A = this chain, B = another copy of it.
């Protein structure tokens, strides 16, 4: 059987990310969890690694930050729309484009294992509509 229960540190990190709703860096998380007894970056990074392997969080490469997954049980790749004005990050799926990208590089014999899709711009709220 798989799916161990999350450990205390893992749960703390996941809960903090989920409560935040936004993307946090490892050091943001460390600062916010010092009150819970976390003291060193490596404790946060270890929790983040496990949570990532289990698909409970995503890493936002262009921000060096992490966010709780809001979809769970991914069939498809995750994309992110990142507002550079307010920092909001919205997760989205893009099944048609995903297939398009996969086949675009597949023509050259490339086997895609993971996609990083991060759109930077301005969210509806910040555009003032």
Do A101 and B97 have beta carbons less than 8 Å apart? yes
> Given A79-B104, A97-B104, A101-B97, are A120 and B112 also a contact pair (CB < 8 Å)?
yes
Q: What chain B residues lie within 8 Å of A113 (beta carbons)?
A: 84, 120-122
A33 in contact (CB, < 8 A): no
Min distance, Cβ A77 to any Cβ of chain B, angstroms: 9
Contact partner, A111, options B90, B94, B110, B122, Cβ 8 Å: B122
**Cβ < 8 Å to B, chain A residues 91-122:** 92, 94, 96-98, 100-102, 104-105, 108-122
Give CA–CA (A94, B72) in the complex, Å. Answer: 28
**Are B121 and A110 closer than 8 Å at their CB atoms?**
yes
A110 x B81 contact (CB < 8 A): yes
Partner pick for A105 among B62, B90, B101, B129, CB 8 A cutoff: B90
A-B contact pairs, 15 of them (CB 8 A): A61-B62, A61-B118, A96-B100, A101-B117, A101-B119, A108-B123, A109-B123, A109-B127, A110-B124, A111-B122, A111-B127, A114-B120, A115-B117, A115-B120, A116-B118
